[in-house]
Chains A and B, each alone.
Chain A
């Protein structure tokens, strides 16, 4: 790995103007993430951890400050460019509403690839990743509603990994799962990290955060 950080925040602020007054979600946050890190972002609700994750994932742009993704400045990019970055270089796992109900499991996984690649190649790659997630082939054609919570989350992780992203971002990935299933999901993330993937996850569960090698704490929009 080169010395270049995969992600760098320089004095990043995010202010939401509201009728009742501006809300400062992030207040001059600076941080660096090196390739291969496994980071847990912790903090109370409303502390700004989701805003931080959204910005890391090119879902949002800062009000002030600069963000670099693998050396490329992204704070001023337009919606199309940000979307392209999400599609090609970011993998997202959310706590809930993770899968598109109209698509089968395998179609969900191939979705980001279908936008750029032909269908056969997308399918081949999706199947490969799903098998790596220990998902039974028989489940591939099931709709999300027919899968268990753990299976759904594994499908979601497969989808997040299908484009071989630089960054795997997880927002409370075990939030809706029982402990045993949650542990299995964390094992998968840890395994991905061991294989070199940079993983950043938001959690408020210390047991989950324990899988990470670094923990960033955030309170009232500032790193603590």
Chain B
């Protein structure tokens, strides 16, 4: 207790210096905690984004080089799966539902605005199966109109009954698809959804861009994949087969790498803080050399001197971490909200709320790291102080 008090008095004697060292720790702790929380809120969001398609096997044309990530730029290449192969997939999938789709683009014109838009074409019967309806009806047959994604509808103020121009043809919007978020199988929110018949009537018979297999029982995923692989890829690689779990893994790998990167930035700021603690402590030890000599000569042991100085850096660390932890809890609250906002712009319906345990976990981790760093940084100067020769230290001026 006595040495703690002595340490506190010394810190108080040099207020400015102590405050600055504490600010360093505060910044480091806030950086680690808030970046960690931000990273985890991102993974929460992405998790929410893709977890709703956990029952999906996605079959895409085999690429010579690809990461398997559907958003990989290499995947924009216009390869396709033939009708024959879709038949083989259907055979392999057995009772599981197979949805072949054509993903294309065409010119959209609404009133006086125009531009290209994604077109999803699939068998009329599969549209209600894959997409939920926000308003209106599902498109049927060849000419009963199209469905539009909810965000596209918001942007152009479209309602069932609105008229739009697709590929130069004036057509009626029959329904609005419910917002769905980014999925591996289909991203309809900014797209126009049409029936396959409607599309082929205008563009001729087409091969398919991708085939989605919805597995009714999650445990069957591996079997379905193996069966498709067996059917189509026996002689040469024709299609890539991915399930949503694999895709999730790819996402989480990316997110984890980003989390580590973010934590690394926080770590660097704590490293800087620890250098400032080291500096402050070295100055403190140098200034107090004669005092240390006196204490040693009247009976303070090495370990007591060591303790006295370690307490100083420990107090700085604890103080900085408490303040930093408090600030980061507040920051975390706003940061997660703003991350949520940011992603809402990208049409993500995922939940932005981070579990409180994650926040506490990161704040506690950052605080422990802050205190630990301070003690480590303070150790060398404290050890130097303890090793001083009392006679020489006494003479030091």
Q: Would you call B120 an interface residue if the criterion is a C-beta within 8 Å of the partner chain's C-beta atoms?
A: no
In angstroms, Cα B6 to Cα A160, docked, is 20
**Interface check B250, CB cutoff 8 A:** no
Judging by beta carbons under 8 Å apart, are A101 and B298 in contact?
A: no
- Cβ-closest chain A residue relative to B387: A79
Chain A residue, CB-CB nearest to B290: A97
Per-position contact with B for A164-203: 1 when CB-CB < 8 Å, else 0?
0000000000000000000000000000000000000000
Q: Which residues in B have their C-beta under 8 angstroms from that of A92? A: 297-298
- Residues of A with C-beta under 8 A to B115: none
A48 to chain B minimum Cβ distance, whole angstroms, is 13
Q: Give min CB distance, A50 to chain B, whole Å.
A: 8
Restricting to B125-140, which residues have a CB under 8 Å from any CB of A?
none
Distance of B107 from chain A, by nearest CB (Å): 80
Size of the B side of the interface (Cβ < 8 Å), in residues, is 22
> Looking at B290, B293, B390, which has the most chain A CB atoms within 10 Å of its CB?
B390
Decide if B304 is an interface residue (CB 8 Å cutoff): yes
A7–B84 CA distance with the chains assembled, in angstroms: 108
CB-CB contacts below 8 Å: A69-95 with B: 79-80, 83-84, 86-88, 92, 94
A100 contacts chain B at the CB level, 8 A cutoff: yes
Q: How far is the CB of A159 from chain B (nearest CB, A)?
A: 7
Q: Is the CB of B10 within 8 A of A83?
A: no
What is the interface size of chain A, counting residues whose CB is below 8 A from a CB of the partner? 28
Contact B297 A111 (CB under 8 A): no
Q: Say yes or no: A100-B294 contact (C-beta < 8 A), given A59-B391, A60-B391, A115-B304.
A: yes
Contact A98 B294, CB 8 Å, known A80-B301, A80-B302: yes
Contact: A87 with B299, CB < 8 Å? yes
Contact B299 A83 (CB under 8 A): yes
CA A111 to CA B1, docked complex, whole Å = 13
| CB-CB nearest in chain B for A162 | B298
Which residue on chain A has the smallest CB distance to residue B9?
A: A102
A79: contacting residue among B13, B297, B299, B302, CB under 8 A:
B302
Answer yes or no: A54 CB below 8 A from chain B CBs: yes
Task: Look across to chain A and name the residue whose beta carbon is closest to the beta carbon of B291.
Answer: A100
A102–B304 CA distance with the chains assembled, in angstroms: 16
The one of A57, A60, A79, A111 that contacts B295, using a Cβ cutoff of 8 Å: A111
Closest Cβ neighbor of B304 among chain A residues = A115
Q: In the complex, which of the residues B297, B300, B391 contacts A115, with contact meaning CB atoms closer than 8 Å? A: B300
A-side residues, CB < 8 A to B, are 54, 57, 59-60, 79-80, 83-84, 86-88, 92, 94, 97-103, 111-112, 114-115, 119, 159-160, 163
In the complex, 5 of the A-B residue pairs with CB atoms within 8 angstroms, ordered by the A residue number, are: A87-B298, A92-B297, A111-B300, A115-B300, A159-B298
Known: A83-B302, A97-B394. 20 other contacts (CB 8 A): A57-B297, A60-B391, A83-B296, A83-B299, A86-B299, A88-B299, A92-B298, A94-B294, A97-B293, A97-B294, A98-B294, A100-B294, A102-B9, A102-B10, A111-B295, A111-B300, A112-B298, A115-B299, A159-B298, A160-B298
